[in-house]
């Protein structure tokens, strides 16, 4: 069976380095907010761009939650998001009392810049784009719209580490970028983790205060904070993975290039990369009309697949109070019914890649 993902493969690639780091953190006697977190924050920010800063937090959702909170998003504020994607983006808004306002995606599964202005009201405070499946969104028009309407601009980069648009890494286009280091992510740890990045150093300092009970120095609390810290073990392990990101990104690119060159089947729509954008190939997502039938066929022929994501956020029962129903955002709904993620991970053997291509090509519907 070709798995859709197998996290232990990523561990085995640098097993000794991870083991050594884990033991060194255990032996250090210092487990929360220490030199590993500081080192990771510095190295991650530097790897994204100049004049950029990072605050490590406990997961991607809390990166969004704290980031929006520190930027003043509060009760009743509207934040424009895309109608497809993952629920966590919306929860980061609702947990601040904010209201997600949806716009449809473009043909690349990302926010359609041409649909944003129609969604702006006098309550709109920000646009929060998600660079879905690892591909950077077309950002220039979005940046322009935010400037024109005096809106904050945020990026959910939980899936898009090191994906760029016209040379700028995702996370650096607006006020802040929110990252997840959940184990499946390209830069994934061995437990939960997250980070906020920004070119605004003062904002990052504020988030570091919020993540630690609102404490600016020991036993002194200037704001009502949270406990949302990245721990030393995860930060230490993430530093190892960060060092190897160029080869890890190249591994995924090699798999994606083989799929793109080898898959030829009129029933399968391959992912397209927008001009000027790069993708980190977090996922390799095709579209096909008979999602369930295709997945069963693949499984019967030894290839696991997944669906990211079967239900659009606006149809989740938890968000029913927003008043949307079936038909509210047909492009997102159609996407959810037709997307299938093929196997993609940090390492695949050539014969596994060939198996996926052969089986997809033999699919007859």
Site for ligand PLP, rule CB under 6 A:
59-61, 85-86, 88-89, 130, 156, 158-159, 180, 182, 192, 194
Q: d(Cα 103, Cα 335) in Å, to the nearest integer?
A: 14
Q: Which C-beta is closer to ligand PLP: that of 194 or that of 360?
A: 194
The token pair that represents 40 in the structure block: 């990771």
Minimal distance, residue 189 CB to ligand PLP, in Å = 10
Cα-based torsion angle of the residue sequence 17, 22, 25, 31 in order, rounded to the nearest 10 degrees: 140
Minimal distance, residue 100 CB to ligand PLP, in Å = 13
Distances (CA, A) of 208 to 38, 188, 330: 11, 21, 40
Q: Which C-beta is closer to ligand PLP: that of 6 or that of 354?
A: 6
Minimal distance, residue 112 CB to ligand PLP, in Å = 17
Q: Which C-beta is closer to ligand PLP: that of 156 or that of 346?
A: 156
Q: d(Cα 205, Cα 82) in Å, to the nearest integer?
A: 29
Q: For the purposes of burial, counting CB atoms within 10 Å of the CB of 51, is it exposed (0-12), middle (13-18) or buried (19 or more)?
A: exposed
The gap from C-alpha 156 to its chain's centroid, in whole angstroms, comes to 6
Minimal distance, residue 131 CB to ligand PLP, in Å = 8
The pairing of strands 99-103 and 78-82 is parallel
Q: Which C-beta is closer to ligand PLP: that of 182 or that of 329?
A: 182
Residue nearest to ligand PLP (CB): 60
Please state the φ and ψ torsions of residue 22, each to the nearest 5 degrees.
-60, -45
Minimal distance, residue 194 CB to ligand PLP, in Å = 5
The token pair that represents 165 in the structure block: 């648009």
Q: Which C-beta is closer to ligand PLP: that of 308 or that of 353?
A: 308
Q: d(Cα 349, Cα 53) in Å, to the nearest integer?
A: 37
Q: Which C-beta is closer to ligand PLP: that of 124 or that of 180?
A: 180
Minimal distance, residue 127 CB to ligand PLP, in Å = 15
């Amino acid at each position: 069976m070709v798995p859709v993902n197998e996290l232990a493969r990523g561990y085995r690639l640098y097993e000794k380095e991870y083991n050594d780091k884990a033991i060194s953190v255990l032996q250090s006697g210092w487990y929360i907010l220490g030199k590993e977190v500081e080192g990771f924050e510095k190295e991650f920010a530097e790897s994204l761009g100049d004049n950029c800063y990072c605050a490590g937090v406990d997961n991607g959702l809390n990166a969004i939650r704290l980031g929006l909170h520190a930027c003043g998003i509060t009760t009743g504020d509207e934040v424009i998001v895309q109608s497809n994607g993952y629920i966590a983006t919306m929860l980061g808004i609702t947990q601040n009392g904010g209201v997600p306002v949806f716009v449809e995606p473009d043909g690349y599964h990302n926010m359609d810049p041409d649909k944003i202005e129609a969604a702006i009201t006098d309550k709109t405070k920000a646009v929060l784009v998600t660079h879905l499946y690892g591909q950077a969104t077309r950002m220039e028009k979005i940046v322009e719209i935010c400037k024109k309407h005096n809106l904050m601009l945020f990026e959910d980069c939980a899936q898009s580490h090191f994906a760029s648009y016209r040379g700028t890494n995702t996370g650096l286009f607006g006020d802040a970028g929110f990252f997840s280091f959940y184990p499946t992510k390209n830069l994934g740890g061995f437990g939960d983790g997250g980070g906020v990045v920004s070119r605004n150093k003062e904002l990052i300092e504020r988030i570091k205060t919020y993540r630690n009970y609102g404490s600016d120095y020991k036993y002194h609390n200037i704001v009502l904070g949270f406990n949302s810290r990245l721990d030393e073990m995860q930060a230490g392990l993430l530093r190892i993975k960060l060092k190897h990101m160029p080869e890890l990104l190249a591994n995924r690119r090699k798999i994606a290039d083989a799929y793109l060159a080898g898959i030829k089947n009129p029933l399968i729509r391959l992912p397209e990369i927008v001009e000027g954008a790069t993708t980190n190939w977090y996922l390799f997502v095709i579209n096909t009309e008979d999602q369930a039938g295709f997945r069963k066929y693949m499984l019967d022929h030894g290839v696991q697949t997944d669906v990211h994501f079967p239900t659009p956020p606006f149809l989740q029962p938890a968000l029913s109070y927003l008043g949307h129903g079936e038909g509210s955002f047909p492009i997102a709904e159609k996407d959810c019914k037709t997307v299938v993620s093929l196997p993609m991970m940090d390492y695949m053997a050539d014969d596994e890649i060939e198996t996926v291509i052969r089986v997809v090509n033999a699919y007859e519907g």
